[in-house]
Chains A and B, each alone.
Chain A
Amino acid sequence: MQYFKKSPWVFHYDGSSCNGCDIEVIASFSPVYDLERLGIVNVGNPKHADILLITGSVNQQNIDVIKSLYEQMPQPRAVVALGICAASGGIFSDCYNIEGGIDKVIPVDVYVSGCAVRPEAVIDGINKALVALESKRTES
């Protein structure tokens, strides 16, 4: 049975996002999109989470935070980079304090495009991450 497909708990971290993507992540849990109908719950604790949703890019100050959050997640785990900033740094990539996308620090399984990402894209991204989670479970 594909346990992780039925009950993925996500944990949302705001890197140095402009809050555009964050609002869309919250919107995908709202009555219109209702991620909980798929068993997806937003938890506030990396130790309970299966999927890490990161919005915004990596800067000097949050490198350690992102690493620590990732290391606190129990195996198997997946990372979804939401929005163009999380993928490459986006419009901020030339800033002096920006390191680039999330994959500079931790391995990313799914990249979701958009500025900001649409809730449909968030749902699709989580859905793709579920496939990655299942394959990680069967590998380990």
Chain B
Amino acid sequence: MNKVPKILLCLVFSPLVGALIYGLDRKFSARLQGRVGPPIWQPYLDVLKLLHKENLVVHKSQNVYILFYLIFMFFAATLLFAGKNLLLVIFALTVAQVFFILGAFKTSSPYSFIGAQREIIQMASSEPAILLNAVGMYMVVGSFYVYRIVSYDKLLALYLPGFLLSFIYILAIKFRKSPFDLSTSSHAHQEIVKGVTVDFSGKTLAMIELGHWLEIILMLGFIFLFFGSNTILALSVAIFIYFLIVLVDNTFARLKWQIILASSWLVTFVMGATNIVALHFLPR
């Protein structure tokens, strides 16, 4: 059982690395806008401050939902780092998101309701691609286990280019970036877009931030799986794709939710179906 300390180390460091990536993202965005930007460790400072703020609560149970959001986020991360079933990772992620949405619905503010509904639309647009992605990996590797997928001797991205492209498309939704930032993006947005977090403050908001850092790492982890056989290539592609999305974020304005939902499903199913058919006929 010498895997346990390794996984614990991963769990401690992955949110910290996620925060650093987020800090780099803020700096990069600022430079693109001609600003100096905050220091790259600014996300840590934000969360440290939030821990010292008073926690205003509308309903006591709203904090419990956010606690479970964080727990399931960590659960998903544990499963991914332990090399367990990919489907289970995706389901744990979905459950975490559902808890986040329930927490927002619990607070009974109209802004919170709109925000939660937008979060649901975001989930509906991104989930099919993530699930199909696991199916595609199964078709090539023959297993849903992450350790089998990572140790697959050939580059998965060569077999699953359609899935990779649809996943990158969906990634902008998952990272809450323009043009797909329906709810809580990092820019100075107001009540509607920031709706989900309207009634959270202090420690609970810090927990939501922590969850978002983990989400960044988990999503980059999925990109990693596409290039599992070559670690250096996988890491550089993951970082490259993240900054590509930040670049797109700073170039485009937000789209309407109808376009986001329709286009993400279209991209997912066209790319995914083409890839599945191609995989069927391709010799392996």
Question: Which A residues lie at the B interface, using CB under 8 A?
Answer: 1, 3-4, 6-9, 29, 31, 34, 36-39, 41-45, 47-48, 50, 72, 74-76, 137
* A44 with B33: CB separation less than 8 A: no
Could you write out 18 A-B pairs with CB less than 8 Å apart? A3-B48, A4-B49, A6-B48, A7-B48, A7-B49, A34-B35, A34-B37, A36-B30, A37-B37, A37-B38, A39-B39, A39-B45, A43-B188, A45-B197, A45-B198, A50-B53, A74-B55, A137-B52
A36 touching B199 in the complex, CB below 8 Å, given contacts A3-B48, A44-B188: no
* Total residue contacts A-B, CB cutoff 8 A: 78
* A3 with B49: CB separation less than 8 A: yes
* B194 with A45: CB separation less than 8 A: yes
Q: Which residue of B26, B36, B45, B201 contacts A48 across the interface (Cβ within 8 Å)?
A: B201
* B46 with A39: CB separation less than 8 A: yes
Q: How far is the CB of A119 from chain B (nearest CB, A)?
A: 14
CB nearest to B30 among chain A residues: A36
Taking the complex as formed, is B200 at the interface, i.e. its CB lies under 8 A from any CB of chain A? yes
Chain B residues closer than 8 Å to A43, beta-carbon distance = 188, 194
* B198 with A47: CB separation less than 8 A: yes
A48→B191 CA distance, assembly (Å): 12
* A75 with B38: CB separation less than 8 A: no
Q: How far is the CB of B193 from chain A (nearest CB, A)?
A: 9
* A75 with B45: CB separation less than 8 A: no
Taking the complex as formed, is B42 at the interface, i.e. its CB lies under 8 A from any CB of chain A? yes
A44→B185 CA distance, assembly (Å): 12
The B interface is mostly helix, strand or loop, or mixed, namely: loop
Query: What would 4 more interface pairs be, CB under 8 Å, given A3-B52, A34-B35, A45-B191?
Result: A31-B33, A37-B37, A48-B201, A76-B54
* A6 with B45: CB separation less than 8 A: yes
Question: Which B residues lie at the A interface, using CB under 8 A?
Answer: 26, 30, 33-39, 42, 45-46, 48-49, 51-56, 188-191, 194, 197-202, 205
A39→B23 CA distance, assembly (Å): 11
Q: How far is the CB of A93 from chain B (nearest CB, A)?
A: 31
Q: Which residue of A31, A41, A74 contacts B35 across the interface (Cβ within 8 Å)?
A: A31
Q: How far is the CB of A130 from chain B (nearest CB, A)?
A: 11
Chain B residues closer than 8 Å to A137, beta-carbon distance = 52
* B36 with A37: CB separation less than 8 A: yes
A36 touching B38 in the complex, CB below 8 Å, given contacts A31-B33, A45-B194, A47-B201: yes
* B49 with A36: CB separation less than 8 A: no
Chain A residues closer than 8 Å to B188, beta-carbon distance = 29, 41-44
Chain B residues closer than 8 Å to A29, beta-carbon distance = 188
Chain B residues closer than 8 Å to A42, beta-carbon distance = 188
**Which one of A8, A47, A137 has the highest number of Cβ atoms from chain B below 10 Å of its Cβ?**
A47
Q: How far is the CB of A77 from chain B (nearest CB, A)?
A: 9
Q: Which residue of B42, B190, B194 contacts A7 across the interface (Cβ within 8 Å)?
A: B42
Chain B residues closer than 8 Å to A38, beta-carbon distance = 38
Shortest beta-carbon contacts, A-B, top 8: A44-B190, A74-B54, A37-B36, A75-B54, A6-B45, A31-B34, A47-B201, A34-B35
Q: How far is the CB of B237 from chain A (nearest CB, A)?
A: 29
A37→B42 CA distance, assembly (Å): 9
A76→B51 CA distance, assembly (Å): 12
* B199 with A47: CB separation less than 8 A: yes
* A36 with B35: CB separation less than 8 A: yes
* A7 with B46: CB separation less than 8 A: yes
Chain B residues closer than 8 Å to A8, beta-carbon distance = 49
